[in-house]
Chain A
Amino acid sequence: MSPPRSTPLLAIGDLSVALPAMQGCVRAVDGVTLSVTAGQAVGLVGESGCGKSMLAKALMGLLPREAEIGPTSQIHFDGRPLLALSPRERRTITGRKMAMVFQDPMTALNPVMRVGRQISEVLRHHLGLDRRAARQRALALLRQVGVSMPRRRLDHYPHQLSGGLRQRVAIAIALACGPRLLIADEPTTALDVTVQAGILDLLARCQKAQAMAMLLISHDLGVVAGRTQRTAVMYAGRILELAPTRKLFGKPRLPYTRALLDAMPRLANPPRTPLKAIGGQPPDMTHLPPGCAFAPRCRWARGRCRVETPPLESGRGGDHDHRVACWYPLEGA
């Protein structure tokens, strides 16, 4: 049911982001190529520190000043080369056509500004609405994201709201200008488990209702499952597997993805079944091993894995949808 192939809304080409570190520099994002079609939801999964947040910041133009983007990197959004735009041109896209929901709603809202103003601010800046119209629209947005007593909430300060409500407000801000792409960076990680599903379902519902593309970033495969059409698995700054979400879960070809799936607790298992944790430590980004970054922790690693870095390719079976960066991908389970 995916739309016919056309130019994607977002096309990331060979994106690299380097950050200066104590010794040398860290390639937080290393040659990522990924595209998102209009209206499509794409998941981006990886352990913390694998560079997924840096990728999101690079898309939004929020990288720290000292970060360096590789010379061959490209980001095309809606046909426009984002990296070639001036900061001023970029700001006409950021927050308007491309919006972001952050991980921690407790700190993402300005503590000394009323909620209503934080929402209407975007509307007034990007759409030129006057105060009254912006407030009306803010009220409608709060209703849309399921905030109870929206009229009263407009005059509240963030500290008067719970974490879940704050994240709903942050989503209202992101949705305010009707963006074509929503980047949700670990939108539920900082929330109580009881409200996580509510927020995720809200995001999925808004994504479908507004035919908006979404990049859903999480360290949790379960968050991405069922809410995205495609999923990319990131490890040490690189995308190692990219497939339709259903295929990725049903028949992962990357040993790392397999290990992540095996590590998920299952209700079907008898009580006291030990979790299958992945051995070893996440890689030290300042001292990446040669070859495949996952090789030191991989059960199937062989000599070649520790020497040559595998490219992200579609498998021998000719399945263009399912691409994996592994010398010895797993064959059907």
Chain B
Amino acid sequence: MTATWGEHLLVTHLGRKLLRLLLVVLAVTAVTFLMVHLLPGDVAYTIGGETATADDIRAIREALGLDRSMLAQYRSWLGRLVHGDLGRSYLTGEPVLQAILSRLPVTLELLVISQLLALALALPAALICAYRSGSHVDRLISTGGFATLSIPSFVMALLTIYLFSVKLRWLPATGYTPLQAGVWANLKSFVLPALSIALIEWVVLMRVLRSDLITTLQQHYILMAKAKGLPPWRILLLHALRPSAFTMLTVMGLQVGRLLGEAVIVETLFALPGMGRLLVTAIYARDHLMVQGCVLVISIGYVTVNSAVDMLYTLLDPRIRREAAVGT
């Protein structure tokens, strides 16, 4: 295989991914548009307030272009989107893109920290459980895991607040410190929210990784590694972990969507100015351009993360590199 052919394959591969992204975004935004319009009431009532007459409402609608057909509205939204214009919030007049960009980093940081925490819990636990599968330690960790898994995130959030800020007084219960105020202060405001997500999330990762590790540990090359006289930790980390990580990574990618839902709750509880809160506020106010903008960014993020997971496979397993090249 020549390098140019390889490059050519990569380009078609990326092109295909981009096309898929486009289709997903189109479908998701269209459905969201429809759903927001199916909700009773619209933003005109919010703007007009309680004293507004029917004429006032009509005037506001006309001014905002809400009197046009849904299809026309969607078409003009798409038209502006092509030029990078997501419109302005009906309520505050703030450009949607700007509103999102100011809140996105908060949610991203929350998701990244919570995933890292979840991994930090799941990796050692899965390694221990798989190495000693069926032992007391394995059962203890698994049972404890299921117990935490059955706790809803908002209860978990309250529990962590109670323990770490009320009882131990280690961390602030709510509030957000921007990164400019110092890395440590900023991280501190994320520890509890991220922990209340991670404490539920890690169990899923641990279970998936554990079962894949158990399968891997029965492979002949693990026996071979033992025959080399390598100590158990080395066999687990260097020989078993990498070929066992696939399902866990897939689950992590798929979880991103669910985590955005969790983030709404957690951001509200901990008063973090993130995407989740922005979206929920916008939905209540029927601020539908803001809703559209949020959904657009979230769906792009979701597809991107899952495509990244696909590419990670090829990094993890050299055999897939060849299959992908031959297959596409």
Contact = CB atoms under 8 A, between A and B. Distances in A.
Interface residues of B, number: 22
A95 B318 contact: no
Contacts of B242: 112
Contacts of B162: none
Given A94-B229, A125-B230, A109 B318 contact: no
Contact of B234 (A112, A125, A159): A125
Nearest to A126: B229
Contacts of B223: 62, 102, 108
Contact of A108 (B224, B238, B318): B224
Contact of A111 (B221, B228, B234): B221
B261 interface: no
A125 B228 contact: yes
Contacts of A96: 229
A211 interface: no
B229 A100 contact: no
Contact of B227 (A99, A121, A125): A99
A185 to B, nearest CB: 10
A125 B242 CA distance: 20
Most buried by A among B219, B221, B234, B238: B221
A159 B318 contact: yes
Given A102-B220, A125-B234, A111 B227 contact: no
B319 to A, nearest CB: 5
A109 B224 contact: yes
A92 B227 CA distance: 11
A173 B319 contact: no
B225 interface: yes
Contacts of A95: 227-230
A122 interface: yes
Interface in A90-104: 91-96, 99-100, 102, 104
Contacts of B318: 111-112, 157, 159
A92 B318 CA distance: 31
B79 interface: no
B227 A100 contact: yes
A92 B319 CA distance: 33
A52 B234 CA distance: 29
A48 interface: no
A292 interface: no
B258 to A, nearest CB: 29
Nearest to B245: A112
Given A110-B221, A159-B322, A170-B224, A91 B230 contact: yes
B225 A62 contact: no
Interface string A151-194: 00000010100000000001001000000000000000000000
A61 B221 CA distance: 15
B61 interface: no
A96 B228 CA distance: 7
Majority secondary structure of chain B interface residues (helix, strand, loop or mixed) = helix
A197 interface: no
B311 interface: no
Contacts of B230: 91, 95, 121, 125
Contact of B316 (A91, A104, A112, A159): A112
B88 to A, nearest CB: 51
B243 interface: yes
Interface residues of A, number: 29
B62 interface: no
B223 to A, nearest CB: 6
B240 to A, nearest CB: 9
B188 interface: no
Given A102-B220, A107-B221, A112 B317 contact: yes
A108 B221 contact: yes
Contact of A122 (B226, B228, B322): B228
B221 A91 contact: no
Nearest to B227: A100
B40 interface: no
B239 interface: yes
Given A111-B319, A112-B317, A113-B239, A104 B227 contact: no
Interface string A108-146: 111111000000011001100000000000000000000
B327 interface: no
Interface string B209-242: 0000000000111011111111100100011001
A60 interface: yes
A61 B219 CA distance: 17
B215 to A, nearest CB: 13
Interface string B158-180: 00000000000000000000000
A108 B225 CA distance: 9
Contacts of A159: 318-319, 322
Given A94-B229, A112-B243, A159-B319, 12 more contacts: A94-B226, A94-B227, A107-B219, A107-B220, A107-B221, A108-B220, A108-B224, A109-B221, A110-B239, A112-B242, A112-B318, A159-B318
10 contacts: A92-B229, A95-B229, A96-B229, A102-B224, A111-B221, A112-B316, A113-B239, A159-B318, A159-B322, A173-B228
